[in-house]
A and B are shown apart, each in its own frame.
Chain A
Amino acid sequence: MNKSITAASLAIAFGTAMTLAAAPAAAQDKMADKEKCYGVAMKGKNDCKAGAGTSCAGTSKIDYQGNAWSMVPKGTCEKTASPTSPTGHGQLKEFKEKKA
């Protein structure tokens, strides 16, 4: 039991919490060591994991579609080649494909 919780200790706790919340997103303690990578999936091979009855997985129409993503190990996305990407590599945000 935390008998020592008072208005003052709650105020201090929230003060710290607000500082934590304002910290950059990179500090977030996410479990998965993967990242969403746009523009690297082959046609029909994009990921979409939302359980049964959701059907966006495997719906991408073209190879390297800019708004279709795959989960890839963290740090590898922007090193993966993507011929449709303006940067020449996968991107962490969706993009408009350039003409090949």
Chain B
Amino acid sequence: MSAAFAYTLLRPEAPCPAGLKTWNGSDPAQRFAVYRNNVIVSLVDALADSFPVVQALVGEDFFRAMAAEFARGTPPRSPVLAWYGTGFADFVADFPPAAGLPYLADVARLEWLRVEAWHAADADPLPLAEMAARLADAAALPALRLTLHPSLRVLRSAHPVVSLWAAHQAEDVSAALGAVDFADAEAALVVRDGLDVDILRIEAGAAEFVDKLLRGAALGEAAQASGPFDLPATLGMLLRSGAIIEAAPARRIS
């Protein structure tokens, strides 16, 4: 019974499940249709809250139709509504009607990283004085391993994702969108500094570097294996946004 009920909830064309009763004798099929509609609408609303820039880029009608399609195929697996939307970016990438907007999936990826950063754990940055002490032994620097803030994420895109996102935070959105060069490839760094999530445009090489640090590479190794980027500026940005939690010599786990 509950499996059939759940199945029918996500399929607007499926008949009302058998055996439903209403307290006032009204038509159960009609009551069920209201309930079924509310389920999808609430999920679509949740996606609209988490992906406002995607919605602005395609318009509300397109977005709600696309989100409803996603919701029917991917109902929530957790009762935490804030986490509803994992996998939405991949769905957008494969959604044929959106194929004309090749940047849309990456904008969705960026918005999802922002949601993740919002809800990531708190962590206190390493005070600058302690950081300075860790840097005293210059010879040990290449083997230094940085622990980064739990909210920190990077995204490399073949599209101007940061500019597109930023344009929608501007006062005059259409003017800001007009200034976006759609041929630009951009990389983003997402980090929560206090209660604010920052989305910063960084060089592709810097994104590679931070990605390697996140995967546990030591400083020297991460810097050497990344494409060209401004190392002092990147380290300065990490320090300034409170993203460095700990810096300790690499320890081999065997």
A20 engages B239 (CB within 8 Å): yes
Residue-wise, chain A 1-17 has the 8 Å CB interface mask toward B (1 for contact) of 11101111111111111
Which residues of chain B are within 8 angstroms of A17 by Cβ–Cβ distance? 232-236, 238-239
* Of A29-37, A38-46, A77-85, the one touching chain B: A29-37
Which of B128, B138, B223 is the one whose CB lies under 8 Å from A8?
B138
Is the C-beta of A52 less than 8 angstroms from some C-beta in chain B?
yes
Closest to B236 in A: A20
Q: A residues 45-99 with Cβ under 8 Å of B?
A: 49-54, 71, 73
Which residues of chain B are within 8 angstroms of A12 by Cβ–Cβ distance? 232
Which of B82, B131, B139, B231 is the one whose CB lies under 8 Å from A18?
B131
Which residues of chain A are within 8 angstroms of B236 by Cβ–Cβ distance? 16-21
Complex formed: what's the CA distance from A46 to B142 in Å? Answer: 47
Complex formed: what's the CA distance from A33 to B166 in Å? Answer: 9
Which of B45, B50, B135, B200 is the one whose CB lies under 8 Å from A31?
B200
Closest to B112 in A: A51
Which residues of chain B are within 8 angstroms of A30 by Cβ–Cβ distance? 198, 200
B84 engages A34 (CB within 8 Å): no
Which residues of chain A are within 8 angstroms of B115 by Cβ–Cβ distance? 50-52
A2 engages B223 (CB within 8 Å): yes
Q: A2-B223, A7-B139 are in contact. Are A28 and B235 (CB under 8 A)?
A: no
B132 engages A18 (CB within 8 Å): yes
Residues of A within 8 A of B (CB): 1-3, 5-23, 28-34, 49-54, 71, 73
